[in-house]
Amino acid sequence: MDVASTSGGGSSLPSVGTDGTKRRVCYFYHPTMGNFYYGNGHPMKPHRVRMTHALLEKYGLLRHMRVLRPIPAHERDFCRFHADDYIEFLRTADPSAENDPATLRRFNIDDVECPIFQGLYKFCQLYAGASISAARQVNLDHYDIVINWSGGLHHAKKSMASGFCYVNDVVLAILSLLETRDRVLYVDIDIHHGDGVEEAFYTTDRVMSVSFHKFGGYFPGTGHIDDIGCDRGKYYAVNVPLDDGIDDESYLYVFKPVVAKAMEVFRPNAVVLQCGADSLSGDRLGCFNLSVRGHGECVKYMRSFNVPLMLLGGGGYTLHNVARCWCYETGVALGIEVANKIPDHQYSEYFGPLFRIHLPTTNMANKNSRKSLDDTIAKVLANLSKLQAAPSVQFKEQSSPMDLDEIDEDEEDSNESDE
């Protein structure tokens, strides 16, 4: 085990508030996730999840948490949010078949952004099934933190694919959490606006969405600071628009007061944190300048509130940086600081020439002035201050639970978790 430690299994991270305690952590992983392939030249590569898992295994982190293999999601699970005809289309989609152009346009399927690829429906079943399974473990109060790095595909809409996302596992997980939780806070640190999740809960006061994202001439084009929700959901959609080149100091300067206020006024019973790694410096599609440590500080801060926490993946298109980030943040969840030197393993060549978790950021200009950040913070906090107390619960949506238990990797495949 290559974990930096002082005594025992690893050194505790510096605590924030009452965060000096260990957490019961459950991690979901399916060994076939890395096999799926969007196509030649496509920036989304599920192989990054396999690379992350290999690092977790080599660092010895798997032995510090429960490792579960998720049960694939069923059609009825998808249809809690998605339209029946859209799910039927995904179920029968065949990359070798001739598809009706009008149907493809209707569901936003093309060869560039959201292609039909071999095993598409199975891919959706696995990543969504892992998020639903994670929510289920929270509902049972079995774990304090649950992790699914294959999830966080936050752009998918009710009846269409979007932004490399086909089914919205985040929405499905939150719907599951609402079976036992009055209020769920969703926080999104992907560089892209969490539009699919915000849209799904735009009119309810039981879910608050808080998205920190690049805004202005950037996909998906939504997430203006004045988009605040409507009807019962007014002020429960929180958008924090940011500009190119934001660094750790500036990002955390905004992130911490906004999240602290959201926690204060909303008082969630569970938090879902989408940890899209395309906000890291040097991302293939991104334009932010966060370090792995700065990105991980957001996870550490959310952990400090001692509220049940779900960590999901999301964007991230420079594979080695994605694996670095999610490995480090798994350590944060566990309270273990992983060693900076990456141990030799089957994907070592991806991490050269430095072979380190923490890399220097670039010298790109930070276009976020302190005044612009202060103005954004002031406006967001003013809106949140209009919520004087946690909302009353008008309903509890019930659904049929998944009928199979998750497979315990400790029992079914000891090589996955005991290496």
Would you please indicate which residues are annotated as catalytic (active-site) residues?
A: 155
Q: Which amino acid, residue 26?
A: C
**Can you tell me the distance from the alpha carbon of 323 to that of 55, in angstroms, rounded to the nearest whole number?**
7
Tokens of 296: 């991980």
Please count the helices (runs of H) and the strands (runs of E) in the chain.
13, 9
Residues listed for the chain: 419
CB atoms within 10 A of CB 6: 8
**CB neighbour class for 14 (10 Å; exposed up to 12, middle 13-18, buried from 19):** exposed
The beta-carbon contacts of 318-322 under 8 Å, at least 24 apart in sequence, are 318/280, 318/282, 318/283, 318/284, 319/45, 319/47, 319/48, 319/51, 319/350, 320/51, 320/350, 320/351, 321/277, 321/280, 321/282, 321/283, 321/292, 321/359, 322/48, 322/51, 322/52, 322/277, 322/280
Using DSSP's 3-state secondary structure scheme, residue 273 falls into strand
Is there a contact between 206 and 182 (Cβ–Cβ < 8 Å)? Answer: yes
Nearest to 142 by CA among 263, 17, 310, 9: 310
Contacts of 403 (CB under 8 A, 6+ apart): none
**Can you tell me the distance from the alpha carbon of 278 to that of 192, in angstroms, rounded to the nearest whole number?**
8
